[in-house]
Structure 1
Amino acid sequence: MTQEQHFDVAAYALGVLDQRDAERFEDHLIDCPACAIELESLLPVVDILSDVDADALVATEQSRRDGLMLKSMIGEVKRERRRANSRRLYSLAAAVVVFAMLSIGALFAGGKWLGTEPASPGTNQQAATKSTKSIDPLPLADGGIGIGGTPLPGKVLTATDARTGVTAAVGYEPKDFGTQVSFMVSNVKGKDGPLLCELVAVPVKGQEQVLSTWVVGEKGWGTAAAREVPGLVGVTSLAPEDIAHVIVRAVDPKTGEKQNLVRVP
């Protein structure tokens, strides 16, 4: 970066730099907030100059020679302004984007985002910023333990079906909108292809609700061929105390026939 490049702002704004110097200045502009700010302040001046009546202005000049030079300069500004205006604006926009990205990076580096202060030592940051109005991602460390030691939010219940061998862990967490139901299902085997499943909430009173649907691949979930057990989330308008139990079902995509895999509790 050279001192001369700082002096090129006005010439660049007027569009009188040649292509080589203009490109050199644009490279400098990306890394120089001072020049970007100065360029932005000069753009209205350039717009005013382009609208000046050169002939009327020259008539007021005492010196014919000076008047001809001024007329030539204003004419050049008008011609170059149309060619360079878009280029200047794109360069200025690029500089603004770079500075914005750097500012965002500084916010992250300082541990602040939208006014959230870094957690003090020993504080669970997730628990400190939790809201009962939103769905929490999995896993969370302030609930019970699900399958394989994975934590689930809220009150966690587990069950294994003796007939199918399927195990499910379900966490109930009260929310403003009802209940978030976080769950994990293990030892689910695909039969002749992907298996369509659904999680159903059975209320103490009223009709059952389908909270979530998903597909288990041919290798299954929590099996010898596929040991991973994903954590899923469903929601219901029911309060936790209004849910009698939940059921994991397999659904035949062709016939619609349903089979209960496990009930919790």
Structure 2
Amino acid sequence: MTSRVEHTDVGAYALGILEEPDRTAFSDHLATCRSCAAELQELSGVAGALAGVGPLDDERDDAGGGSGDRGPAEVVNLLRRRKAADRRARRGTFVIGAAAAVTLVAGGIAVGTSISGENGSGSVPVGHSAHGPAEDAYRAGTPVAGAGAPGVTGGLVLETKGWGTHAALELRGVKGPLECELVAVSRTGERRVVTGWAVPERGYGVPGSPEPLYVHGGVAWERPGIDRFEVRTSGGDTLLTVTV
């Protein structure tokens, strides 16, 4: 994708495996393509590299082939196939409880995206919400307010999971074009990216575009070990700090 943008590259963008020229081109594309922006939000948990999510079996595994030689394109395709299968399995039901995951064996990390609550009380009724999973998670919890740059406000809702900590972010007062990341900072100073996204020129939570941004992701640390979360731009500016 060196000279043109493909809609199907949203998975590769979410996994961070596009080369720099392609990543920049696709970031610009997100500002005008609602379908890609919506799919990117669905895949936002991928960037968090959630621990404890097991590998997926596919036809190659069943045939005796190992998963260690999967290339990036195969990983993206496998993620898409599993998500499509999960959506088909949910049709006609009232419970979201599926999870999509892939294992990048060559890199030694597990990457996944969760679309269920895993909060001990069950799941989210599909027919009862007009919002996305990030906004649902934020509205269902008790937000921790953050300290923002001038004009920027927001907060986080945190959930303890078996694999670590899930974070749902609300962000207001940002205009683009920007690339941002939600970064977790441990009490020992270690940093982990929870999720990343692009802010279109119109922005979020600003005059003319009043709706806030909602994104979510996960980090493989238990909540007591986390000092704070930061929303940072690709240029190194901190837009929001949430001390937990």
Higher helix share: 1
Structure number with greater Rg is 1
Superposed pair shares fold, TM > 0.5: no
Under a length normalisation based on structure 1, what TM-score does the superposition of the two structures give? Answer: 0.42
**TM-score, scaled to structure 2:** 0.45
